[in-house]
Structure 1
Amino acid sequence: MEQIIPIISEVGFPIVVTLYLLYRIEAKLDMVVQSIQSLPDRMREQMK
């Protein structure tokens, strides 16, 4: 048990930072997916 506590304190912060960054990237990826999905409609409008 005494060996686990230092590992958690050393690894805990990077895990939290990683999860935060993944959350932010997910939101931006959702915006990219929406843009890509709306692209064909925009292209059809410009072709008219």
Structure 2
Amino acid sequence: MEQLIPIISEVGFPIVVTLYLLYRIESKLDMVVTSIQNLPDRMKERV
């Protein structure tokens, strides 16, 4: 148990940062997917 605590302290922060960044990127990727799905309709409007 004593060996586990330092590992969690060393690895815990990078895991939290990674999960936070993945959460932020996911919302931006949803916006990109929506834009790509709307692109054909927007292209038809221009013609």
Shorter-chain TM-score: what band? over 0.9
Structure 1 residue ranges without an equivalent (≥5): none
Q: Give identity over the alignment, percent.
A: 85
TM-score by length of 2: 0.97
Q: How many residues align?
A: 47
Residue 15 of structure 1: how far off its partner (Å): 0.3
- 2:36 equivalent in structure 1: 36
Instruction: Calculate the TM-score normalised by the size of structure 1.
Output: 0.95
Aligned to 2:4: 4
Q: Cα RMSD between the aligned structures?
A: 0.4
Runs of 4+ in structure 1 deviating by more than 6 angstroms, as ranges, are: none
1: CA distance, partners of 2:28 / 2:45 = 25
Matches of 2:35 and 2:15 in 1, distance apart? 30
